[in-house]
Amino acid sequence: MDTEAAMALLVAKRRAEAGGRYHHLHLYDGGSWDFDFVVPWTKSACRLDADLMIIGQDWASEDYLRRNDSAKQRADRALTGQDAHLATNQNLKRLLASHFGLCFSQTYATNVLVFIKRGGMSSNVPMKDLRACAVAYTLPQLEIVKPRMALCLGAKTFNSVRSALGLGRLGWQDACIPSAHTRMGLTEIYGVPHTGSWGTKNAGGPQAVEAIWADLARRFHMLAGSAQQSFAADRS
């Protein structure tokens, strides 16, 4: 099965979900945010052959969507699957460009939670729910895209993916170290601070965040270089 067909099956699986404590994309708000992707965020970063995958915790909450419901906001969100003006998204794009030399559109981006959560954007998502979504949706996306590296935004996101892989929790400082501690096939999976203000603060400030991204970018480019050398050797 090719990558597009495999991803389409995941989208169909998500659309078949019903019940539970979350809002389903295909039912919420008249299906406004039910795009042909597992989550709306992917609409702006949908490279199925991407070398880098970005994994967030969740896309939006009912309260956020209700409070940000102007015609322009809805149109922009429908076009890109995100609110590009948010500092969280802008900071992520800046870090990608300055350290990895990549635009957001050159990556594959997804969220672990494939639903709209109730309440506010800071509402808690239980780890058991994140793990269930990671097993059902995140790991299959990793298998389809097969990136060289995946970056999980925030400790909870990272540990939900590790749990889905059958691995125990890893200390947050260790999660950021480029040592191939978490892998799925050839993909190395790391945690980075959430790109919002609280994630930066909890990581020790902007300089600490920049250092983490710089270290992981060096590892990423080393992996890319090794792959190119292997390809050249195979052709010689």
Categorise residue 101: left if φ over 0, alpha if ψ from -120 to 50, beta otherwise. Answer: left
Rounded to whole angstroms, the Cα distance separating 138 from 127 reads 14
The pLDDT of residue 215: 97
Strand order in the sheet with 52-56: 108-111, 52-56, 149-153, 187-192, 183-184
DSSP states along 126-188: -HHHHHHHIIIIIHHHHHHH--SEEEEESHHHHHHHHHHTT-----HHHHTS-S--SEETTEE
Nearest to 166 by CA among 135, 127, 125: 135
| pLDDT > 70: percent of the chain | 95
Domain ranges across the chain = 3-235
Classified by CATH at the fold level, domain 3-235 comes out as Uracil-DNA Glycosylase, subunit E (3.40.470)
CB 109 within 8 A of CB 84: no
pTM of the entire predicted model: 0.94
Nearest to 112 by CA among 47, 74, 165: 165
Residue in the structure block whose two tokens are 């709209």: 116
DSSP three-state, residue 233:
helix
- pLDDT above 80 (res 236): no
Which range of 120-129, 198-207, 225-234 scores highest in mean pLDDT? It is: 120-129
**Predicted confidence (pLDDT) per residue in 58-95, tens digit:** 999 999 999 999 999 999 999 999 998 999 999 999 99
